[in-house]
Every structure is written in structure tokens, then in C-alpha cells.
Amino acid sequence: MAGTKTTTGAPTDVTQKHNKGGIGESTLRPDGTLKVTGEFAYSSDMWHEDMLWGQTLRSTVAHAEIVSIDTAEALAMDGVYAVLTYDDLPAEMKNYGLEIQDTPVLAHGKVRHHGEPVALVAADHPETARRAAAKIKIEYKELPVITDEASALAPDAVLVHEGRDDEYIKWVSHPNIVHNQPIIRGDAEEAAKKADFVVKGEYTFGMQDQAFLGPESGLAVPSEDGGVDLYVATQWLHSDLEQIAPVLGLPEEKVRMTLSGVGGAFGGREDISMQIHACLLALRTGKPVKIVYNRFESFFGHVHRHPAKLYYEHGATKDGKLTHMKCKIVLDGGAYASASPAVVGNASSLSAGPYVIDNVDIEAVALYTNNPPCGAMRGFGAVQACFAYEAQMDKLADKVGMDRVEFRQLNAMEQGTLLPTGQPVDSPAPVAEILRRVKARPLPPERQWEIADGDADVRELPGGLSNTTHGEGVVRGVGYAVGIKNVGFSEGFDDYSTAKVRMEVINGEAVATVHTAMAEVGQGGITVHAQIARTELGVQQVTIHPADTQVGSAGSTSASRQTYVTGGAVKNSCELVREKVLEIGRRKYGSYHPAWATAELLLEGGKVVTDGGEALADLAELLEDETVEIEAEWRHRPTVAFDKRTGQGNGHVQYSFAAHRAVVEVDTELGLVKVIELATAQDVGKALNPLSVVGQIQGGTTQGLGVAVMEEIVVDPKTAKVRNPSFTDYLIPTILDTPTIPVDVLELADPNAPYGLRGMGEAPTLSSTPAVLAAIRNATGLELNKTPVRPEHLTGT
């Protein structure tokens, strides 16, 4: 191994090289066969001889003191091997957390939200473990619940966390605020005087669940050295490791993590779920322990998207130019911080949307409450803001008397526009163009449900096979929206990734192996890694090594960052391997051909070739039995923290833009909505794998559709208890709810990014929701300031 080398992300060329199966081709997933045959091993498929099943006992109330816990009866049950509570935690560190270590591994003296883990059981059958958990007696003394801004910030409010000493506390006005971020640029107050039209709005965004299908699960196997091997589905192995090892009282090298098959993530696996619990039980019992949440528990097992209240004011001149924007965004972070501080940073810095607004007065805050903890979900703070500012744009366009799309285009951001943070957008920003494209698309034909004999195919109508209408009371609406999402971790975070690339000769053929800790969660990162290696190294066969902690961190599979950052790391390591290979070539063959010294040399089709295409050497012959392997870290260009008072600073790395046009049909009598089409256009910089890119865009669009018309975790405002923790009551779109999603992909290279690519996984989730809302408003004439829209909002019942 050539040791670890660190480089920063210098501008790179964006030319595509021509190796078969390289970047730009829709190569198929390397795990595809395993996934269609049932052989792919997801984290819930793990099995070990002699293994036990772990079960978590969770609080039945949202906020209470724990008076007593009695585990005797559970421990006495046949088949039960261990029952653990806070008192059994082995190390001094008993909390974990992504940004603030405020989350107890097991509740200590107090529970702060419904479903908080209180005790653990290990037993020889999952049902035995469940029954034992039910035998644990917990006496609670209930406390008042904090459920919203008013109850959180009341002068005499109960504090969700007492004695805070985290880095954010000194900047907040109340201990029940996790973090706040003001952003001031220009003079909104003064600019408002120049506005001919002002619109104000108050918007509510419901709590969305990631609803990944593969439940939280994994297997912990104790090892002879006193450590533990953990197989788990996560988004970031090394971040988990940093949180797990201290509470186990083990050095990190004794906690060996391997990524198991991940059944979707969408932000919901950024936080620890069962990882520590399984390890604790395994270390206590000396046996392998598997934990698999069922769907009910999964709703309590991970953080959700922050519900939000958003207060906006926009102004415009009579010729349609935006004068100013003021907003306050209140995010409900729930009982523990999770990623709330970063979500606040995103929500505030992207609150103006992809528009030129020189005068802004912004504040975003996240609250501590006794509601379920909220954190990362696809779109991460930018989703809630987009829902609100796009509603504002429609209202303002109407006031000015302009077409809603033209109004957006008139005010659209371009390359060079300053964000509210003062940071220039220094790569293409085709906001007006993507709007033009979705608008130019022909509309789907009217009354598609009509079939021969004047009859109706009810499957094409709102209500579907419930056969609630044959077209009576059905009206159509069309709506548009556009959004901006940042790519990568912002605000000065050291957002690096590591890739180990090896080249060697096997069976007479030069082949490559790529080893990273990147969590493949379904997005297709491993497909892209193989494509990059083929492009850079001119090989056909690329082996993707399983992701584990035996290689350096790859950062998180979130923030649309993995193709950019770990893709960039793979590219960089490949380039370093190529240099080594060429060095070997020069040593061996340099005297045979002058091009070894003078030409730019590439690796193509298993050969070293000149940039003119002349082959100089066969890679297999060049390498013989030599192996070239390099592990190196790679960084994108650095960012800085936002100023705590003004919000100014170059905090972001890159941006991603998407626009949607939604066409809906609404049964106004029953309040049922059918989305007919959800067309989208997005700039992806460079589509490394076009098939996967389109798949990401369609998937993200559908999650946006879900929160527009059906998805919401309902929390009882009196008790802070979750009312709908099941797929029976928390609805996600089925294939019947999801329309045709035509996708228009633009490729305007970002000169700062590898191959010119843009992180693209999140942007489609932003504008999808407001486009659907706009279409429903267009169909019904209703104001609809809350998402999801429910039938009663449409019928007024």
C-alpha cells in the first residue's frame, strides 16, 4: 500500500474518456442479479448459529420521570438471556448524537418522547423477547408536554434538556431552542417601502417519515478479543463507529463494522438506531444478537423530517421585480437534537429559493419539544422552505398580474447571483431554463378516463376503484414550482471521503478493485464507482469491495454528496494509481518510444495509449505480478461557517436545481386528488449513469408527491403521542397514486466538480410538493397553506 495521501479538490477537466462501461453510460447495477434473485443479504437477513434476538422496550408516554423499573419477572422467563437498563451501561459515556451528544442510549430517570428506548431484552426467540419486554414494569410520573413554539418558549416552560453545555446554547434566546440562524443582507425594511405589492403567508409543513422499506436491523457478534463485529444498515459507518465505541467502553478498532444490505435510507439512517443496543446485548450475553424492528417500531426507531411553521413576506414592484423577503422558519426538532443544527443552516440559507432577492431578513430556529425527534430527510430543511416560498411566488405573481412561470423566470437566479449568505453561485444556474422546459411540455389530454360508450375507466379518476365518480365534480389544475438544494456538507464541515483503489493482473487481465466505506443504500453509488474506475484505468473488470471500517471514512450517503465526494475520491485514487502504473511503464519501456516521455498518456481498453490513440503497452504485460494500490482522502473545496448574527459566509459547496409541473384532477365533492402527471426538469451537471439519474429523480419526485397529499406522522397535541405508526395509517404513494413522471435532464457542467457533475438526489424532492399544491389550488381556488392536503381541507368538512 502506498500510504494515505490527502489532496484538495482542484478544478478538473470534464472531458469524457471512452472506455466501455465508463461514465456517462447506463451500466446496470452490479448488485442487480443478487437483488432480483433474493440472494442479496440485507441487514435483516443476517443469521448466526446460536444467535439471540434483541428487543427494545420503549416508553409509552412522551414526557415523564421514571420512578422505577422492575425487570425481575422478565429475567425469570425461560429463554431470556439478558435484560438491560441504563444502570447496566458499561462506560462513562452514556449518550450519543450526531451533533450534540444529548441522546441517552437507554433512558435515564426521564423519558422525553413517545417511544424512547428504556430497556433491552435478549432471548432465544423474537416472541419470547417481546413477551419478556412486556413483563418489565415501569412506573412513570408524567410531566407537562412541550409540543409547539408557544409551549416551548413560554417563560415558565419546562426545559426538555436541563443544564445544556453544547456549542449552540450561547446563541439561543431560550434553552428549548436547539439552534437558530439569522441571515441579514441588504435592508429588507427599507426595500419594503419600494414594493408596490406585498404578500404575507403562514405555512405549515407536516412531519414526514422516510419510510425506507428495509427496517432498522443488524447483527452484533462478540469476538474473542472482547470487541464486537457489527453488521448493520446505515448511511455512514464511521459516524456510527464514533458514537458506538465510547458507550461500549471500547476503542474504535475493537468495533468492526461492515455494511449489510441497506433497504433504502433517505436520511433516516444517519442516526444510530439499534447499533449500540445490539452490541450491548452481544457483549453482555457473549452471543450473537440480531435486532430487527417491525414497522411499528421503525416509526419510533428513526428521526423524521422536521415539521415546520413558516412565516413569509415578499414584496415586488409593479413590473414584477422582487424587492425583499422576510421569513421566520420554526422547525420542530423534537426531543433530541439529531441533525437539527445543520437543518437550520440549510433552511435559513436556502429560504429565499433560486431567486434574486437583494434584501432579506431571515431567521430559522429548531425547537426542543417532546414530539418525536426529527433530523435528516432527503431535502434537509430546503424542502420545507421551498413549499412556502413557492406558494408565495404564485400569490405575488397573481398580485402583480403576471404569468406565474414568467414571474419566476424574471426573478430567477443565474450564475453570479448572491445567495442570502452573500455567497455567489459560481456555476451554471439554469433556473429560468428548467421552468421553460416543464412549461413547454404538452399537457396530458383532458378527460383521460373516458372510454367507449360514454363510460368511464374509474382507475383514471380520483378515488380509483372505489368508483366514487365517473367525472362528476372533477376539475383539473396545473401548478409549477422550482427549488434550490445545496450539495455536500456545508458550514465549514471537513467533508472528505476516502477511496482505496488497487490494480493488478488476474488471469492475464488487468483488473481493478475499489474499496470505500460508502453506504450503498440503493442510490447506485457502487455502479458509478465501477464506471469511474473503468474510465480512469481502462479496465473492464472492477470489483467493488464490501464497505467497512477497515478503510477510511467515506462520509455520509446524504446531502446528495456521494457521487461528488466519494466518486471524486475514487477518481482521485484511480488517477494516483494510473500515475504509478505509468511510472512502472516508463521504467520498463521508456526507452522504446519517445511518447513515454512527451505525450499525455491514458489507460484505455487494457492498454497504455497516447492522447492521439497510439497504443504503447498492454497493461497486463506492464504490471505482470505487480500490484498497485493507493488509499487516499479527497476533499471538495472548503466552506466556512455562517456568521452567527448575520448569516454571511461562503457556507455551501454546490447547488442543484429542479423544477416541476404538476397536473392534478380533484374530485371537489369528496376532496380526492389524483395527480395525473408530474413533469420535471433538472440540471445534473453530468449524468454519470443516466438510467440511475432518472430513477433518482422519479423517486425523489414521488416522495415529494407523498407529502403533498398523504404522508404525515400525526402527533396528538395533548399527549405528544404518535397516532399512526403503521403503513395502514401512514400512507406512502402506491403505484396507483403515482403518475407518469417525464424527466428532462440537463447537463451543464460545474467546473469545480469531478466530471462537472452535480449532486442530484435531493432536488427533485423539493419542488415536487409545492407544484402539486399549486395545482390543487389552481383546480379548487382554495388557499391551502398546509401540507399534506387532506380531503377535509378541500371539502371544508
Partner 1 sequence: MRVNFTVNGRQQEADDVWEGESLLYVLRERMGLPGSKNACEQGECGSCTVRLDGVPVCSCLVAAGQAEGREVVTVEGLADFAKQRAEHGGCASGACGSEQGTSLQDAKQWQAKGTDSQTGEGGELSPVQQAFIDAGAVQCGFCTPGLLVAADELLERNESPSDADIREALSGNLCRCTGYEKILDAVRLAAARQGEAV
Q: Are 337 and 99 in contact (CB under 8 A)?
A: yes
Closest C-alpha among 138, 131, 121, 135 to residue 59: 138
Residue with cell 452490479: 30
Task: Candidates 466, 736, 751, 783: give the one binding partner 1 (CB under 8 A).
Answer: 736
Q: Are 631 and 727 in contact (CB under 8 A)?
A: no
Closest CB 483 distance from partner 1, rounded Å: 17
Residue with cell 402527471: 677
Nearer to partner 1, 311 or 727 (CB): 727
What dihedral angle (degrees, nearest 10) is formed by the CA atoms of 190, 191, 194, 199? -110
Would you give the binding string for partner 1 spanning residues 181-220, x where CB under 8 A is met? -----------------------------xxxxxx-----
Nearer to partner 1, 589 or 727 (CB): 727
Nearer to partner 1, 181 or 692 (CB): 692
Of residues 715 through 734, those in contact with partner 1 by CB under 8 A are 726-728, 732-734
- Could you tell me how many residues of this chain bind partner 1 (CB under 8 A)? 68
For position 27 contacting partner 1 by CB under 8 A, the verdict is: yes
Q: Give ∠ CA 615-616-619 in degrees, rounded to 5.
A: 95
Closest CB 630 distance from partner 1, rounded Å: 25
* Backbone φ and ψ of 609, nearest 5°: -130, 155
Task: Candidates 9, 19, 29, 421: give the one binding partner 1 (CB under 8 A).
Answer: 29
Cell numbers representing residue 264 in the block: 433504502
Nearer to partner 1, 73 or 460 (CB): 460
Q: What are the C-alpha distances in Å from 558 to residues 562, 593, 701, 706?
A: 7, 47, 17, 20
Closest C-alpha among 11, 764, 760 to residue 426: 11
Instruction: Report the SS3 class of residue 632.
Output: strand
Q: Are 393 and 453 in contact (CB under 8 A)?
A: no
Of residues 461 through 480, those in contact with partner 1 by CB under 8 A are 465
For position 605 contacting partner 1 by CB under 8 A, the verdict is: no
Nearer to partner 1, 498 or 702 (CB): 702
Closest CB 698 distance from partner 1, rounded Å: 3
For position 506 contacting partner 1 by CB under 8 A, the verdict is: no
For position 266 contacting partner 1 by CB under 8 A, the verdict is: yes
Would you give the binding string for partner 1 spanning residues 120-159, x where CB under 8 A is met? -----x-x--------------------------------
Closest C-alpha among 604, 608, 568 to residue 592: 608
For position 765 contacting partner 1 by CB under 8 A, the verdict is: no
Q: Are 255 and 283 in contact (CB under 8 A)?
A: no
Would you give the binding string for partner 1 spanning residues 226-265, x where CB under 8 A is met? -----------------------------------xxxxx
Cell numbers representing residue 439 in the block: 412549461
Task: Candidates 8, 13, 18, 47: give the one binding partner 1 (CB under 8 A).
Answer: 47
- Taking the C-alpha atoms of residue 757 and residue 566, their distance in angstroms, rounded to an integer, is 12
Task: Candidates 7, 12, 31, 470: give the one binding partner 1 (CB under 8 A).
Answer: 31
Nearer to partner 1, 42 or 168 (CB): 42
Nearer to partner 1, 233 or 316 (CB): 233
Give the range of 44-52, 101-109, 324-332, 605-613 binding partner 1 by CB under 8 A: 44-52
Q: Are 352 and 370 in contact (CB under 8 A)?
A: no
Residue with cell 481493478: 512
Instruction: Report the SS3 class of residue 389.
Output: helix
Angular region, 670: left φ>0, alpha ψ -120 to 50, beta rest? alpha
Nearer to partner 1, 293 or 312 (CB): 293
Closest C-alpha among 660, 654, 734 to residue 701: 660
Q: Identity (one letter) of the amino acid at 463?
A: G
For position 39 contacting partner 1 by CB under 8 A, the verdict is: yes
**What stretches of 614-684 show up as alpha helix (H) in DSSP?**
619-623
Closest CB 601 distance from partner 1, rounded Å: 28
For position 457 contacting partner 1 by CB under 8 A, the verdict is: yes
For position 741 contacting partner 1 by CB under 8 A, the verdict is: yes
Nearer to partner 1, 95 or 738 (CB): 738
* Backbone φ and ψ of 533, nearest 5°: -65, -40
For position 22 contacting partner 1 by CB under 8 A, the verdict is: no
Give the range of 43-51, 330-338, 403-411, 653-661 binding partner 1 by CB under 8 A: 43-51
Task: Candidates 3, 10, 15, 37: give the one binding partner 1 (CB under 8 A).
Answer: 37
Of residues 291 through 320, those in contact with partner 1 by CB under 8 A are 292, 294-296
Of residues 663 through 702, those in contact with partner 1 by CB under 8 A are 691-692, 694-695, 698-702
What dihedral angle (degrees, nearest 10) is formed by the CA atoms of 47, 51, 57, 58? -30
- Taking the C-alpha atoms of residue 95 and residue 161, their distance in angstroms, rounded to an integer, is 13
- Taking the C-alpha atoms of residue 486 and residue 417, their distance in angstroms, rounded to an integer, is 15
Nearer to partner 1, 543 or 719 (CB): 543
For position 455 contacting partner 1 by CB under 8 A, the verdict is: no
Of residues 774 through 793, those in contact with partner 1 by CB under 8 A are none
Q: Are 707 and 787 in contact (CB under 8 A)?
A: yes
Q: Are 516 and 569 in contact (CB under 8 A)?
A: yes
Would you give the binding string for partner 1 spanning residues 361-380, x where CB under 8 A is met? --------------------
Instruction: Report the SS3 class of residue 392.
Output: helix
Q: Are 615 and 646 in contact (CB under 8 A)?
A: no
CB atoms within 10 A of CB 643: 16
For position 86 contacting partner 1 by CB under 8 A, the verdict is: no
- Taking the C-alpha atoms of residue 419 and residue 325, their distance in angstroms, rounded to an integer, is 12
Give the range of 33-41, 248-256, 341-349, 752-760 binding partner 1 by CB under 8 A: 33-41
Residues contributing to the site for partner 1 (CB under 8 A): 21, 26-42, 44-45, 47, 125, 127, 210-215, 261-266, 292, 294-296, 457, 459-460, 465, 521-524, 691-692, 694-695, 698-703, 726-728, 732-736, 738, 740-741
